[in-house]
Amino acid sequence: MNNAAGRFRDSGSARHFARRAGTRVLVSDVGGTNARFGLAEAGSRGVLVAGSVREFPVAGFASLSEAAGSYLQMQGEHVDLAVFAVAGRIVDDEVRITNHPWVISREQTERALGISHVALINDFAAQAMAITCLQRDDVVAIGPQAWRPFDARVPRTYAVIGPGTGLGVGGLLVRNGRCYPLETEGGHAGFAPVTVADLRLLECLIGRFGRVSCERLVSGPGLVNLYSAVCEIHGQTQETTEPSAITARAAAGDANCQRAIEVFCAAFGSMAGDLVLTHGAWDGVFLAGGLVPKLLPALQASSFRERFESKGRFSSALAEVPSLAIVHPSSGLLGAAAHAAELLHASNA
């Protein structure tokens, strides 16, 4: 699956831990703004302990281990295994959060928390693993194609993309009953304009950033960038720099905020459709991240699906692909718990 799985599989003490029924696992979903923690039962797949989920602002702690230690103390728990899903690229057992100063080392986190085994995975590897745990009420279809229940016996290829503080991108391969999450930094791929209006927006953003990645448009800060560009194009004053204020002003009838949200949704749809083409994700794209539930009505009413399907000679193929918004409030933790279950299964193999 990833390097963490290999390290865990080779550990004799991990195999001993895997046989201890009822042991709880610490799971966490760490982004550039908030860190969410929860507990999962080691013997279950993607099942969180009721009432265990807590969310802390990352700015309130000097390190991940400090935040995790506070959470464990609050819960009165000690664990032997933790899975941290982190918004950044893992290199040599270390990850630097893309949109926050924390640098996280697996070994240092183990020592600081007194935990035998820590696994670090990308946050969108966890979102990909969450696909294996989702139920019908956890997703809302954007477009005509409905949710198809997960079945590990059937080969599948999925993509997952989601805006929050940044733009996460991942994938999930299901082969021979096993699940293989793909850790990517696809949110930093270059933005591809589709319309003349897109080109005008891109020109504004190039003037500010130089190279313009997808994340510069489709993320919380990206929504602010779009609103600023819309105001610039129309020669009007930017009234806010907060994503929440933009959505509130749009609901109140502010034309520039409404346009920014429409462009956001259209660009999101285009990017999601591109992801199907690049990943071969013909079984579906899942929309994750903190902004998706908040923007769900806008996504449903926007040109998201039109731009998703508008892929020239592959438009008819894209029309058959589901695009599914994840509305489960803790999907990242579900995926981290599913990853823990995979690690424990592998250690017994």
What pLDDT, in 10s, does the model give residues 42-75? 767 778 999 999 999 999 999 999 999 999 999 9
- What is the C-alpha end-to-end distance of the chain, expressed in Å? 14
Mean pLDDT along residues 166-195: 94
In 3D space, the residue among 133, 105, 212 whose CA is nearest the CA of residue 167 turns out to be 212
pLDDT at 30 > cutoff 70: yes
pLDDT at 1 > cutoff 70: no
What pLDDT, in 10s, does the model give residues 225-279? 999 999 999 999 999 999 999 999 999 999 999 999 999 999 999 999 999 999 9
Q: Name 125's Cβ contacts closer than 8 Å, sequence gap at least 6.
A: 2, 85, 170, 181, 182, 183, 335, 339
pLDDT at 139 > cutoff 70: yes
The most confident of the ranges 19-28, 39-48, 78-87, 312-321 is 312-321
Residue 206 carries which side chain, given as an amino acid letter?
A: I
Rounded distance between C-alpha atoms, residue 48 and residue 334, angstroms: 7
Alpha helices in 62-158 (DSSP H): 64-75, 106-113, 123-130
Q: How confident is the model at residue 11 (pLDDT cuts 50, 70, 90)?
A: very low
The predicted pLDDT at position 159 comes to 98
β-bridge mates for residue 159, sequence order: 171, 285
Mean pLDDT along residues 282-311: 96
Q: In the numeric block, which tokens belong to residue 343?
A: 């690690």
Mean pLDDT of the chain: 91
The predicted pLDDT at position 19 comes to 44
Q: Which residues are annotated as a binding site?
A: 28-33
For a pLDDT cut of 70, what percent of the chain falls above it? 93
The predicted pLDDT at position 98 comes to 85
Rounded distance between C-alpha atoms, residue 70 and residue 259, angstroms: 42
The predicted pLDDT at position 349 comes to 57
pLDDT at 20 > cutoff 60: no
**Backbone torsions φ then ψ of 100, nearest 5 degrees:** -160, 155
pLDDT at 313 > cutoff 90: yes
pLDDT at 301 > cutoff 50: yes
Q: In the numeric block, which tokens belong to residue 101?
A: 């100063």
**Torsion of the alpha carbons at 187, 137, 324 and 218, rounded to the nearest 10:** -40
pLDDT at 6 > cutoff 70: no
Q: Which residues are annotated as a binding site for ATP?
A: 28-33
Q: In the numeric block, which tokens belong to residue 341?
A: 């279950």
The predicted pLDDT at position 348 comes to 66
Residues in the chain, overall count: 349
The predicted pLDDT at position 15 comes to 44
pLDDT at 124 > cutoff 70: yes
**Torsion of the alpha carbons at 165, 117, 54 and 133, rounded to the nearest 10:** 80
The predicted pLDDT at position 171 comes to 97
pLDDT at 189 > cutoff 70: yes
